[in-house]
C-alpha cells in the first residue's frame, strides 16, 4: 500500500521525501548535519508528528557523529526542540534519546543514538499498523450495517506520508482496503499549507477512492448525511483527551457532533502528553503570514509559480493548529485499542 519511503537513515545521514515538493513532483533530500535536520523539520520538508519525532532522533545521531560531549548533546537537543512547538512526538523522541545518552561515555553515544533512531523508525511503523487494525473494527461495523462504501472524512494528512509507515488516521482505511471493505474518503484541502493535497496524492497512489473538497464544504456534507465517520490525526493529545491537530479540525468536530457523526482521533501513545492536563496548555504554533498571502503551484508549462492572494501589507494571523475538546471526540484510536477521551490511562496504566 505504501509506495514511497518517507525516511531512511544510514547512521551518518538521513534521506527524506521532500514533502514541500509534493504533490507536484517527487524529490528527496539528504540530511547530513544538525542544521539540515532542523531546517527540514521547521520548513516542513518533513511533517506529521510521528515523522517529525523520528527525524529528530536521526538528527541527534547525526549531530553526535563527530563530537558527542555533554555540550554537543545539549546543543543538538535544544536546537531540534525549538523547531516545532506543538507536535509532542518531537519532545518525546528527544527526551527518549536524552535518557539513553546522558549516562553513556562520549565514545558510545553516537552509535547508541543511531541504534535508537533505527528503533524509533521501526516502532512507529508497527505502532501505526496496530492503530489500523483497531480502527478497522469501526469500519467493519459500519460496512455490516448497510451496502456501499464506508464514507470516511479526514483532515490534513495523517497517512504514511506523515509517519514511518501506514499512517495514523488513514491506517484504518488502508486496513479496510486490505480486508476487502470498500471505503471512500472525503479529503479537505487544509488551507493554508494544503496538506489535504498530500492526502489526495497519497490515496491516489494507494488506489483508495476519494473526493477532494474545499475546507468549508465539510459541514454541509456532514449535515447532508454523506459521512459515516470522521478520523483525524493529532499532534498532541492532552491527558484529558483534548487534542491538538491541524487548524480546521475543531470545526469538523463541531459539525460532526451537531449531526451525530462519530468523530475519532487516531494517535500513537507517543503523541499523548500525559504531563499536559488539558488542551488549554498545549502550545500553538503561529506561522508566517506569507503562507496565507501566497500560493505556489505549477503553471501550464509545469513550472512552479507563486501567486499572490493578498497584498504584502495585509495583516495576517496564521495559527497552525487548533484544539478539539474531549467532549466532541467519540474515541481515540491507539496502538493498544480505542479509548474514551477521558479514559486514556485505562489503556496506559503506567501514566495513571
Banded model confidence at residue 351, pLDDT cuts 50, 70, 90:
confident
Burial of 7 (0-12, 13-18, 19+ CB in 10 A): buried
pLDDT in tens, 175-196: 999 999 999 999 999 999 999 9
Tell me what percent of the residues of the chain surpass a pLDDT of 70.
Answer: 100
Please tell me the predicted confidence (pLDDT) of residue 297.
82
Residue 30 confidence (pLDDT) above 70: yes
End-to-end CA distance of the chain: 37
Q: What is the maximum span of the chain, computed from C-alpha positions, in angstroms? A: 63
pLDDT in tens, 271-292: 999 999 999 999 999 999 999 9
Average of per-residue pLDDT values in the chain: 95
pLDDT in tens, 206-236: 999 999 999 999 999 999 999 999 999 999 9
DSSP 173-236: HHHHHHTT--EEEEEE--TTTTHHHHHHHHHHHHT--EEEE-GGGHHHHHHTT--SEEEE--SE
Please tell me the predicted confidence (pLDDT) of residue 113.
97
Distance CA 139, CA 174 (A): 11
Please tell me the predicted confidence (pLDDT) of residue 275.
95
pLDDT in tens, 32-83: 999 999 999 999 999 999 999 999 999 999 999 989 999 999 999 999 999 9
Contact 332, 134 (CB under 8 A): no
pLDDT in tens, 110-122: 999 999 999 999 9
Banded model confidence at residue 345, pLDDT cuts 50, 70, 90:
very high
Name every residue whose Cβ is closer than 8 Å to that of residue 197 and which is 6 or more positions away in sequence.
Answer: 22, 23, 189, 190, 212
Residue 1 confidence (pLDDT) above 70: no
Burial of 144 (0-12, 13-18, 19+ CB in 10 A): exposed
Distance CA 156, CA 340 (A): 23
Banded model confidence at residue 4, pLDDT cuts 50, 70, 90:
confident
pTM for the full predicted model:
0.92
Please tell me the predicted confidence (pLDDT) of residue 88.
87
Task: Tell me the catalytic residues.
Answer: 235
DSSP-derived letter for residue 303 is -
Residue 310 confidence (pLDDT) above 70: yes
Q: Are strands 183-188 and 236-238 parallel, antiparallel or unpaired?
A: unpaired
Distance CA 5, CA 9 (A): 11
Please tell me the predicted confidence (pLDDT) of residue 98.
97
Q: The cell 516542513 sits on which residue?
A: 44
Among 24-28, 215-219, 284-288, 306-310, top mean pLDDT goes to: 215-219
DSSP 1-46: ---S-SEEE-SS-EEEE-TTTTTT---EEEE-SHHHHHHHHHTTSS
pLDDT in tens, 154-167: 999 999 999 999 99
Please tell me the predicted confidence (pLDDT) of residue 112.
97
Segment 118-130 mean pLDDT: 96
pLDDT in tens, 323-344: 999 999 999 999 999 999 999 9
Amino acid at each position: 500500500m505504501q509506495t514511497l519511503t518517507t525516511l531512511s537513515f544510514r547512521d551518518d545521514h538521513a534521506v527524506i521525501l521532500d514533502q514541500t515538493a509534493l504533490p507536484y513532483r517527487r524529490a528527496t533530500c539528504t540530511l547530513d548535519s544538525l542544521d539540515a535536520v532542523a531546517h527540514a523539520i521547521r520548513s516542513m520538508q518533513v511533517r506529521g508528528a510521528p515523522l517529525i519525532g523520528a527525524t529528530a532522533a536521526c538528527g541527534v545521531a547525526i549531530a553526535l557523529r563527530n563530537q558527542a560531549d555533554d555540550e554537543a548533546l545539549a546543543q543538538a537537543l535544544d536546537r531540534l526542540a525549538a523547531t516545532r512547538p506543538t507536535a509532542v512526538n518531537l519532545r518525546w523522541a528527544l527526551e527518549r534519546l536524552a535518557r539513553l545518552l546522558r549516562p553513556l561515555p562520549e565514545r558510545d553515544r553516537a552509535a547508541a543514538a543511531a541504534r535508537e533512531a533505527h528503533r524509533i523508525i521501526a516502532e512507529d511503523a508497527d505502532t501505526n499498523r496496530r492503530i489500523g487494525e483497531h480502527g478497522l473494527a469501526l469500519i467493519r461495523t459500519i460496512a455490516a450495517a448497510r451496502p456501499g462504501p464506508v464514507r470516511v472524512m479526514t483532515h490534513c494528512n495523517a497517512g504514511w506520508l506523515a509517519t514511518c509507515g501506514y499512517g495514523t488516521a488513514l491506517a484504518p482505511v488502508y486496513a479496510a482496503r486490505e480486508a476487502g471493505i470498500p471505503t471512500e474518503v472525503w479529503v479537505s484541502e487544509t488551507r493554508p499549507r494544503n496538506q489535504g493535497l498530500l492526502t489526495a496524492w497519497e490515496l491516489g497512489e494507494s488506489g483508495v477512492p476519494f473526493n477532494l473538497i474545499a475546507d468549508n464544504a465539510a459541514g454541509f456534507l456532514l449535515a447532508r448525511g454523506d459521512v459515516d465517520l470522521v478520523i483525524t490525526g493529532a499532534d498532541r493529545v492532552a491527558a484529558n483527551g483534548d487534542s491538538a491537530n491541524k487548524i480546521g479540525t475543531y470545526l469538523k468536530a463541531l459539525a460532526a457532533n451537531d449531526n451525530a457523526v462519530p468523530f475519532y482521533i487516531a494517535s500513537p501513545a507517543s503523541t499523548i502528553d500525559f504531563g499536559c492536563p488539558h488542551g488549554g496548555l498545549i502550545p500553538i504554533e503561529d506561522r508566517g503570514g506569507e503562507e496565507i498571502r501566497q500560493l505556489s503551484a505549477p503553471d501550464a508549462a509545469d513550472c512552479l509559480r507563486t501567486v499572490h492572494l493578498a497584498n504584502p501589507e495585509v495583516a495576517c494571523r496564521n495559527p497552525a493548529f487548533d484544539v478539539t475538546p474531549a467532549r466532541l471526540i467519540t474515541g481515540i484510536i491507539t496502538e493498544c485499542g480505542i479509548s474514551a477521551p477521558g479514559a486514556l490511562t485505562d489503556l496506559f496504566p503506567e501514566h495513571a
